[in-house]
Amino acid sequence: MVIYLGARLELRSLAARQVERFAARTPGAEKWSVSPDFLNPMVWDGIVQSHKQIERVRIQPLDGVITEIIRMERPSPSQIPQQALDTETASTLLAFARFPIIRFQKAPSGYRVLIFDFRFYSDATNTALASEILLDPSFRITKESLSFQKPLE
């Protein structure tokens, strides 16, 4: 068990140094993180956030290989109606999320604000830990929800 923990710590350290160097080459990088792949401790995932985008990379610490998996744009928070950000579900999620992404979209009955934590985004199912806030055309809240498997349509 001690050998496993020592190896795991060393792999994390290697992955962290590699994603830190990757982040240093990313224009406007604000923060980053690494976490082990669920099934393979020799593969790690990294997240690098900048003001305009966020991306997930796959890291092979022993080989030094970093591969981009997905990249998403991050709209300016000033484009989001404040009343949506003040809802209970949005406040709860934003307090917890390390890498929040907020989307503001026109919807059939008004507008939709979707807030999700990129750490829990699955590109395979296009779902995430997310808060959805629906607003009418006058920007009044009509519905809000929080879900671990919210589709990000």
8 confidence band (pLDDT: 50, 70, 90): confident
41 confidence band (pLDDT: 50, 70, 90): confident
Cα dist. 115→1, 76, 80 in Å? Answer: 39, 13, 10
Statement: residue 76 has pLDDT above 80 = no
Q: Which of 114, 108, 67, 72 is nearest to 93 (CA)?
A: 114
Mean pLDDT of 90-115: 93
Statement: residue 146 has pLDDT above 90 = yes
Mean pLDDT of 15-34: 94
Between 2 and 44, the more confident residue is 44
1 confidence band (pLDDT: 50, 70, 90): confident
The percentage of the chain sitting over the pLDDT mark of 90, rounded to a whole number, equals 71
Helix boundaries (H) for the chain: 2-24, 82-85, 88-96
**Exposed (0-12), middle (13-18) or buried (19+): which is 58, by Cβ within 10 Å?**
middle
Give me the pLDDT at residue 47, please. 96
Report the chain's mean pLDDT, rounded to a whole number.
Answer: 91
Q: Give the Cα separation of 5 and 3 in Å (integer).
A: 6
Statement: residue 44 has pLDDT above 80 = yes
Give me the pLDDT at residue 79, please. 76
Between 7 and 139, the more confident residue is 139
Sign of CA dihedral 115, 89, 105, 139: negative
Describe the strand order of the beta sheet including 44-50 as a list of residue ranges: 29-36, 44-50, 53-60, 65-73
Give the count of beta carbons closer than 10 Å to the beta carbon of residue 76: 10
Mean pLDDT of 45-70: 93
Bridge partners, residue 65, by sequence? 60
